[in-house]
Amino acid sequence: MKDMAHKLQSVTAFEIGGDYIIEQFKKLGSDDFDTAITAYTNITRFLLTENKTLADYLCELLTYSPSRLIEQYIKQENQNQLYAVEYDVSVIKELAKLSAHKVKDYLFQKFSDSFIFSLPEYVTGGFDYTAEYFIRHICTNGSGIYAKYKAFVYENGGLSPIEKPDAIRLSDLKKYEAQRKQIVDNTRAFVAGHPADNVLLYGDRGTGKSSTVKALLNEYDNLRIEQVDKKDVACLPTLYKTLSASPLKFIIFIDDLSFGENEEGFGILKKVLEGSVCGRPSNILIYATTNRRHLIKETESSRMGDNVHSADEIDESMSLSDRFGLFITFLAPNKEVYLEIVRSLVLDRGIIIDGEKLDRCAERFALKRNGRSPRVARQFVDSLQSKLALGLDPEK
């Protein structure tokens, strides 16, 4: 058992040091009875509670553990790195064969206490995975948190995974086909490793700008989204450095982008987009949304200024917009387009309702919300579906 502990300590390619179960297996070799028995009990309790075999747990551990070594190997193959991966997998495969019965036999031989045989047992399972399997998986899905999660938010100085990102798909979004096609074509080129542009989605509230970006996440397996608040844009150079090592593609998403006069983030974002000595990594793009044509908010004092000052501010604002390779406009729909969106959503959900009644209710709902938009259309259909399910008249 001590030999196994030494082997686990020597794992190189997979960064599994500190893992709870691995640490318990190391403690099985302790000369202290209480320490060894507690370690065995902890392993059994954990696996039975999680309803996992030991092999399943170890496979998941390697699948989601960080591995900068494998990420480097994917970029430029190296035989020494490959051997390190193969060695690690052989150690974990050996551990996966360590049945509860074998462990209890070992503990009895060491401590001569028949009580050990009465202890519950975990299930071993089968571990048939190879080094090539984990290399392929990391090549497609990344390693560490990027293998386990697809969406992240930047907060408190680091990236936090989003457990359940928005499940919206592009097929759920209605109209604006021309705008979305530009974004989809750009993203397809990006994930395929071809040149692609940073994107600024401009337009009225509720027209589906943010939803379009979020929907991309559910279309491409090797795409990840990192949402960054505009107040945190100073983190972008650090994110570039961190994410550039991964084989995955990353969209840094900045929602509702605008800046006040002389705000520090404006200059930082300009440099990051274009003009910085440090170039943008090929696996990172920035997609941002805004409701403002000019990204610098105009103040009362600037409106009172002379024409030269105002023109300079407009030029400065446009200098940021121009750094996005794609500038795509989403405008609020007219009445007919709004109703077409409503009808499409109703059809998707299989809601049965008279057409004229549907239009009347949808328009009345929009008037109460002070405007028509895809968001209002979706809110109306949600309300309609609930009322019909409860047997209520949607016109009341």
CATH H superfamily, domain 153-330:
P-loop containing nucleotide triphosphate hydrolases (3.40.50.300)
pLDDT band at 61 (very low <50, low <70, confident <90, very high): very high
Q: Maximum CA pair distance of the chain?
A: 93
**383: region left, alpha or beta (phi > 0 left; psi from -120 to 50 alpha):** alpha
Q: Average of pLDDT values for 116-136?
A: 95
Of 318, 320, 360, residue with least CA distance to 343: 360
C-alpha to C-alpha distances, 231 to 42, 87, 254, 270, nearest whole angstrom: 44, 45, 10, 14
pLDDT band at 175 (very low <50, low <70, confident <90, very high): very high
Mean pLDDT, the chain, rounded, equals 88
In the prediction, which pLDDT does 275 show? 53
- The verdict on pTM exceeding 0.85 is no
Of 91, 95, 113, residue with least CA distance to 37: 113
What digits encode the pLDDT tens for the residues 232-258?
A: 888 888 888 888 888 899 999 999 887
CA angle at residue 59 from 55 to 60, to 5 degrees?
120
Which residues make Cβ contacts (< 8 Å) with residue 113, sequence separation at least 6? 33, 107
Of 333, 342, 373, residue with least CA distance to 360: 342
Under DSSP, the state recorded for 293 is S
Under DSSP, the state recorded for 296 is B
Spell out where 124-182 has E strands.
151-155, 158-161
Residues present in the chain in total? 396
In the prediction, which pLDDT does 304 show? 45
Q: Between 309 and 53, where is the model more confident?
A: 53
What digits encode the pLDDT tens for the residues 270-310?
A: 777 775 545 678 899 999 998 866 564 544 444 444 554 44
Q: Between 308 and 210, where is the model more confident?
A: 210
The domain segmentation of the chain, as residue ranges, is: 2-144, 153-330, 335-389
The SS3 assignment for 227 reads strand
Which residues make Cβ contacts (< 8 Å) with residue 272, sequence separation at least 6? 233, 236, 237, 240, 280, 286
The sheet with strand 151-155 has its strands ordered as 158-161, 151-155, 223-227, 249-254, 284-290, 199-203, 326-330
In the prediction, which pLDDT does 311 show? 46
In the prediction, which pLDDT does 244 show? 87
Of 364, 367, 336, 362, residue with least CA distance to 351: 362
In the chain, % of residues over pLDDT 70: 89
In the prediction, which pLDDT does 325 show? 87
